[in-house]
A = this chain, B = another copy of it.
């Protein structure tokens, strides 16, 4: 993809991951694969893992280590109450920005 997406993802990728986790618990490798499938073709794996560590340290998610049939144990993340609150805030912020941009695109005031 382009540099533009990279820069645009700053601040939104975190919300995207939290939104995914609000549907169901998931682990890093799974999330990366899911994102790639959905068109975010070149989000680096390292990026997701770093992000997960960040949101874990901020207390937005709970973590559980689950043995895998294949490969090393998975770190399964699930959204907690604080994370849900943060996600709600994220959607409000996103709406704010999206509305204004849409208006700009239409050439409105």
Contact = CB atoms under 8 A, between A and B. Distances in A.
A107 interface: yes
A91 to B, nearest CB: 6
Contact of A4 (B5, B20, B93): B93
A12 B91 contact: no
Interface residues of A, number: 32
Which residue among A11, A96, A107 has the maximum number of chain B CB atoms within 10 Å of its CB? A11
Contacts of A10: 7-8, 10-11
Interface string A1-21: 010111111111011100110
Interface of A: 2, 4-12, 14-16, 19-20, 23, 38-40, 89-91, 93-94, 96-98, 100-101, 104-105, 107
